[in-house]
Chains A and B, each alone.
Chain A
């Protein structure tokens, strides 16, 4: 693209035109640009950056139903959380959810993308639609549907898994199986989107590389690990980052399916903040949790931009 200079090369312009272009470029290096940026920046400041500082500030106060007047307490809220077993359980649940969803979703997405990417004729778009459609279903609706499917007595899941010899499980009512149930439905909901990202990346893999590998006598298995997988590294990193960030956002499923129960076994960070702020009206504690959440995300941001970002974003440039 860059070398299309020849079309309107500056060398061919008259001195007057050249001066005009120069003035124009100069003018736009001035204050003008900030006017274009102002709407976005004002909104970002108000709804992304101000909240960070505001919640950090509020986290230093005791401010709840019993203390409607804010009282400055320093780091008391953080100390309370540190000693609160529920806080650690919530973090553990978030970790379990991430470990339960991310590797499975990525593996499934990659596997199906490689299959769908083959020359399958017209049914290919049928497969794509069938595997991708859960992305179009609102999470609340999906959660509602899966409450019905996980119904212990007459639910579809217990019925069909019974054929595979799996014993009947109480799922959302069982403290050990409620979180796995949420993980299963989340995988169903999300793998299709990641499959499409992999499909897009696969289309960038040159076909002659496969031909070369075939001529060398590499079977499908070797071709995948030797050619496809390494070339998909940027896509995998991108998927990984998106998956981690969205795993922290889990809320709708928990809200609809379990309300954090049974015995807080599915309580996660977003829901815990919601509970503290909007059920117990403990704004100070809610703000403290918000601050911890944002710090976690910012650490993630630094890691991503340091180690992953360069490879992913520069790819797109």
Chain B
């Protein structure tokens, strides 16, 4: 056999192996994507087109009217603005608290460091889903119910973020800091000019995860809000579903599609960054 032949046979086997992989992955990908396509398809149908004995995948005529009607019936614009305010507010404060705490845990030795760090770690395992009732009572006594701040407050400190960023700061050599101190750039200056720029990938990853998870929050905003002017998209959708209990599926799916659209759009455009970030934090965790 010549080398050329051997390479061709190897290539062939490689392709056969990969054919099976492609078929399997293709099947799983198709099954996973189907629900979302069905959501989009239903949201673009006429009300009468929904009740067909076999699923009709291509909506024809295409009816964008459902989206307009959703906007008429509930203030989804306000919900969107509120959501953006809440997720950005949470992230802004988190970046501050997390950076300061992570800096101290990564770079300093002090009494009680281990125990204090453990308190941060435990927070990761006691989610708001366990503590929402006492937290609700706290906010009630602070007279903060039904405000945007109420939706953000419990998330301002993040054990997870502190943990991630501490790891990143630890990677940066100690001597760099000594050198900086000699040059008169210590403490907060060093944090701002050296550590933060060097830890940027971690900050971006944490930022994306924070945005996505709080964009999707439901239980907590549900409990602390009761008027539409402060509600977020997810709560708005939940209310819309109850209000439109007549099961008009085209309207419900249009509202659902609208609620998922902003994040989905950003995700599709920056998919590489998103996926890298989620992978990165998994690796670090």
B241 located at the interface, meaning its Cβ lies under 8 Å from any Cβ of chain A in the complex: yes
A79 located at the interface, meaning its Cβ lies under 8 Å from any Cβ of chain B in the complex: no
Count, chain A residues at interface, CB 8 A: 104
Count, chain B residues at interface, CB 8 A: 107
Which applies to chain A's interface (DSSP): helix, strand, loop or mixed? Answer: helix
A:110-154 near B, CB below 8 Å: 112, 115-116, 118, 120, 123, 125-141, 144-146, 148-149, 154
**Interface code B266-279, partner A: CB below 8 Å = 1, 0 otherwise?**
01100110110011
Query: Whole-angstrom distance between the alpha carbons of A55 and B135 in the complex?
Result: 9
Q: Say which residue of B123, B173, B175, B176 sits within 8 Å of A48 (CB atoms).
A: B123
Instruction: Determine if A154 and B51 form an interchain contact, defined as CB atoms under 8 angstroms apart.
Output: yes
Query: Whole-angstrom distance between the alpha carbons of A252 and B217 in the complex?
Result: 9
B80 to chain A, nearest CB (A): 13
Which of A137, A138, A273 has the largest count of B CB atoms less than 10 A from its CB?
A138
Query: Whole-angstrom distance between the alpha carbons of A46 and B153 in the complex?
Result: 10
**Given known A-B contacts A37-B104, A47-B135, A125 and B272 have beta carbons under 8 A apart:** yes
Query: Whole-angstrom distance between the alpha carbons of A154 and B103 in the complex?
Result: 56
B81 located at the interface, meaning its Cβ lies under 8 Å from any Cβ of chain A in the complex: no
B253 located at the interface, meaning its Cβ lies under 8 Å from any Cβ of chain A in the complex: yes
Instruction: Determine if B130 and A41 form an interchain contact, defined as CB atoms under 8 angstroms apart.
Output: no
When C-beta atoms are compared, the residue in chain A nearest to B268 turns out to be A129
B:140-157 near A, CB below 8 Å: 153-154, 156-157
> Which residues on A sit within 8 Å (CB–CB) of B282?
196-197, 200-201, 235, 238
B213 to chain A, nearest CB (A): 10
Instruction: Determine if A115 and B21 form an interchain contact, defined as CB atoms under 8 angstroms apart.
Output: yes
Query: Whole-angstrom distance between the alpha carbons of A135 and B274 in the complex?
Result: 11
A39 located at the interface, meaning its Cβ lies under 8 Å from any Cβ of chain B in the complex: yes
Residue ranges of B at the interface with A (Cβ–Cβ < 8 Å): 18, 21-22, 24-26, 28-30, 32-36, 38-39, 42, 50-55, 96-98, 100-101, 103-104, 107-110, 116, 119-127, 129-138, 153-154, 156-157, 159, 162, 167, 170-176, 178-179, 181-182, 186-187, 212, 215-216, 218-219, 222-223, 233-234, 237-238, 241, 249, 252-253, 256, 259-260, 263-264, 267-268, 271-272, 274-275, 278-280, 282-285
Known: A146-B35, A159-B54, A270-B130. 18 other contacts (CB 8 A): A20-B182, A41-B101, A44-B159, A120-B18, A127-B26, A136-B264, A136-B274, A140-B237, A141-B234, A141-B260, A145-B253, A156-B34, A193-B278, A199-B279, A200-B282, A251-B219, A297-B130, A316-B285
Q: List 21 A-B contacts (CB under 8 A).
A: A24-B186, A36-B104, A37-B101, A40-B98, A43-B153, A43-B157, A51-B135, A54-B137, A125-B271, A126-B29, A130-B30, A141-B260, A146-B35, A154-B51, A193-B278, A251-B129, A255-B219, A270-B129, A277-B133, A286-B133, A294-B130
